Amino acid sequence: MSKDKNPRRVADNEAMAKLRMLRTSPQKLNLVAQLIRGKKVDKALSDLTFSKKRISEDVKKCLQSAIANAENNHNLDVDELIVAEAYVGKNLVMKRGRPRARGRYGKIMKPFSELTILVRQIEEQA
């Protein structure tokens, strides 16, 4: 008398990892996500390793998590994985401020964002 198992959110040849509350703007994070879209995972990992962007370290962690999910949870072959999708979303914005001249107040917005990486196994053509 147990409930039915939830259906998978992704296809059988895919795995996903999500990273929330990244302390950077979605626009800056999207620049790093563009760097890895559509690439093989080993090439994407090396690109992120040598990227000068600060947030690339967190993106690399998320990609490694997606690869581990594919290998351990879904029994996919790591050598045949590509980054199918890497998309960015908005999260909360911390509002801070600073007093300015003549009684005014300067707004300082500190945005957070979230990242979703989807890896897909493709069969090599012989």
Number of Cβ within 10 Å of residue 1's Cβ equals: 2
Per-residue pLDDT band at 28 (split at 50, 70, 90): very high
Counting the structural domains of the chain, the total is: 1
* CATH number of the domain that residue 56 is part of: 3.90.470.10
Residues 6 or more apart whose Cβ sits within 8 Å of residue 88: 26, 29, 30, 33, 113, 114, 115, 116
Residue 9 in domain: no
Rounded to two decimals, the pTM is: 0.90
Contact 82, 41 (CB under 8 A): yes
Q: What is the domain range of residue 31?
A: 14-97+105-121
pLDDT digits (tens, 9 = 90+) for 41-56: 999 999 999 999 999 9
Residue 8 in domain: no
Residue 61 in domain: yes
pLDDT digits (tens, 9 = 90+) for 7-27: 888 899 999 999 999 999 999
18 Rama class: left (phi>0) / alpha (psi -120 to 50) / beta: beta
